[in-house]
Structure 1
């Protein structure tokens, strides 16, 4: 199955994003149509995971999201592309008891945040890979709520036996850029200490099938 993928063209953005401090958000730019790739569907979704963390004054919450399907394109042991379909209905909270976790997951799944009933999946498509200071600078297009932005994240590729793992460092995206508006100071005035930080910390661990 072939899929149309998007990318941005400025290599300088790759270098800048990898040199940023972890607390800074990744640089998001507009995406552009450039090529097609073959969907290999070679990712083991059962052992792959995305972690998330959101913060607000006085506290934070964290959890996981799993993949629905994915591909890692490898040539001679090097990462050349890939795509991950993210199952938004799989959002979990890990820091609260069962009742609190159910409440926050329900809110995150609602139209206030990710509107999972309307936008059941998100997507990350790798469009270019560069080596920067001994690490990989992976450029790709992140689609959330039908908004697509090109970002660059620091990552590494690890092969153990027959399994290859794509593992990113922790990075931050700005939810406001993806139309996630609830309690955002970019959309609402006079929130005082009732705001929720726009930055969401993410990390990817994606394994191929053995």
Structure 2
């Protein structure tokens, strides 16, 4: 009888120990599931656009650049982050119809007076925060985006409004960001550093107009 009771007691203790060992494993699986809710959407450079506008006393120039690569972080139906790389070697001017003048301007933009493209072939933007704009209309900018913009190896934080949304495995964002070029050591003909420029002065600020499309990886959806 004593042997039987001892056997039953030992079996119960072993069962209790096994159950206790399994509990942390259940919690671990739950944590992995929670993290898996965040998804990475891949930037589609062929569907995305990036335009620029630079102004001076006598007028302005407009052009484009191309995204090289990037990703957007999405949780649920909200964009929570992202990183974008711009190929600076693709900078183009769109307003000068004379081929010679166009090539001269583009060459100057790629030189050390401006973006030093040979030394710095890419620029990057990394989102650090994104917050909703209260009361935004359906067709208006609905988010305030803040991030680190790196040009010529120099990083500064910029903030701008944008229209951001996620639907059917596609994340999209569009808007305009204003950039102070002098913060990136681009001082050519800036009145902040040079006097008596007259009508040769160039504005410190230039704008970037973007339309970004990113898609969820088909494998990640499964």
TM-score range with shorter-chain normalisation? Answer: 0.7 to 0.9
Normalized per residue, the structure richer in helix is: 2
Q: Does 1:164 align with 2:165?
A: no
Query: Gapped runs of 5+ residues in structure 1?
Result: 1-37
Return the alpha-carbon distance in structure 1 between the equivalents of residues 41 and 103 of structure 2: 31
Normalized per residue, the structure richer in strand is: 1
Q: CA RMSD for the aligned pairs?
A: 1.9
State how many pairs are aligned: 172
Q: Could you tell me which residue of structure 2 aligns to residue 103 of structure 1?
A: 104
Q: Which has the higher relative contact order, 1 or 2, with Cα contacts under 8 A spaced 6 or more apart? A: 1
Contact 2:77 2:167 in 1 (8 A): no
Q: Does 1:119 align with 2:120?
A: yes
Contact 1:50 1:64 in 2 (8 A): yes
Contact 1:171 1:202 in 2 (8 A): yes
SS of corresponding position for 2:215: coil
Query: Gapped runs of 5+ residues in structure 2?
Result: 1-37, 137-141, 217-222
Contact 1:41 1:69 in 2 (8 A): no
Q: Could you tell me which residue of structure 1 aligns to residue 7 of structure 2?
A: none
SS of corresponding position for 2:196: coil
Q: How does 1:117-196 map to 2 (within 5 A)?
A: 117-133=118-134, 134=136, 135-159=142-166, 161-168=168-175, 170-196=176-202
Return the alpha-carbon distance in structure 2 between the equivalents of residues 160 and 83 of structure 1: 20
Q: What is the TM-score of this pair, normalised by structure 2?
A: 0.73
Q: What is the TM-score of this pair, normalised by structure 1?
A: 0.77
